[in-house]
Amino acid sequence: MHPEQEREALVDRLARRGRIEDEATLAALRSVPRHEFVPEGRREGAYDDRPLPIGEGQTISAPHMVGIMTDLLDLRPGDEVLEVGTGCGYHAAVTAEVVGPGGVYSVEYHESLAERARRRLERLGYGGISVRAGDGREGWPEHAPYDRAYLTCAATDFPRAVVEQVRPGGYLLAPLGTRRQTLVRARRRADGTLDREEHGGVRFVTMQ
């Protein structure tokens, strides 16, 4: 089966399960060639619905989890979005399919991953996504405020700098916890406090 057919089959399975409801999210998952974001030796399993290692102790998230997070962020075209944890760039590409590539700013701790992701995104037509190496706990203040922010790695809580870079009324999303993690969505109030909702147990690599 060609990668495009495998991708269609995967997204069809995710749609049937009903965990991903937004048509824009499903369309984004159909558009992004996940096999291009995994190491060559792992490409045979690129359209299995599971995480895969990408080097530096990091992983590319399972497609269903990327879809669920995209749904929960309630993204709209034109949104400005901060991503903490670029990894291979796959999640950023899915986000960019919804909001437009010029609205995605991604911070990666590992210089080597950031550079590879930047080159890969450029090659695949997502050159408008901005990627930098740095400490994700600091966010990316130069482009704030953001409409949405999310972490692709587990933290004990939302980093304060990231919270401060989100507009009042905007959403934050992250796996929070150490050994036991919960996917938490929060809406930022005008005073900087957060209204939180829990969306089930998850397992992510820990923030560096």
pLDDT tens across 167-202, in order?
999 999 999 998 889 999 999 999 999 999 999 998
User: 158 lies in a domain?
Assistant: yes
**Catalytic site residue from 61, 106, 112, 130:** 61
Residue 126 CB burial class (10 angstroms; 0-12, 13-18, ≥19): buried
User: 46 lies in a domain?
Assistant: yes
61 as an active site residue: the answer is yes
User: 149 lies in a domain?
Assistant: yes
- CA torsion, ordered 35, 38, 42, 44, to nearest 10 deg: -10
Range of the domain at 138: 3-202
CATH number for the domain harbouring residue 97: 3.40.50.150
Burial 142-154 (b: 16+ CB within 10 A, else e): eebebbbbbbbbb
User: 178 lies in a domain?
Assistant: yes
Q: How many domains does the chain have?
A: 1
User: 183 lies in a domain?
Assistant: yes
pLDDT tens across 55-109, in order?
888 889 999 999 999 999 999 999 999 999 999 999 999 999 999 989 999 999 9
User: 12 lies in a domain?
Assistant: yes
User: 208 lies in a domain?
Assistant: no
Q: What is the pTM of this model?
A: 0.95
Q: Can you name the residues that pair with 61 across neighbouring β-strands?
A: none
User: 34 lies in a domain?
Assistant: yes
